[in-house]
Amino acid sequence: MSKRELIDYICEINRSAKPEFLANFSEEDLNAYLEHLMELDLEELVVCS
């Protein structure tokens, strides 16, 4: 996944994230953050069920 795609996915999940801010991070950091957000999103789904 490209850096741009990572930023787009992060912004879809975390609507308060700013692309300009995220662009300062490496692809590796963005990928780790996206994985973290996806885990939180799944946990929220389980709690809401």
Q: Which tens digits make up the pLDDT trace of 11-22? A: 999 999 999 999
Q: Which two tokens stand for residue 22?
A: 């995220």
Predicted structure pTM score = 0.82
Whether pLDDT at 25 is above 60 = yes
Hey, where are the domains in the chain?
3-48
Q: What is the C-alpha to C-alpha distance for residues 4 and 10, in angstroms, rounded to an integer?
A: 10
Do 36 and 14 contact (CB within 8 A), yes or no? no
Tell me the pLDDT band of 40, cut-offs 50, 70 and 90: confident
Q: What is the C-alpha to C-alpha distance for residues 7 and 23, in angstroms, rounded to an integer?
A: 7
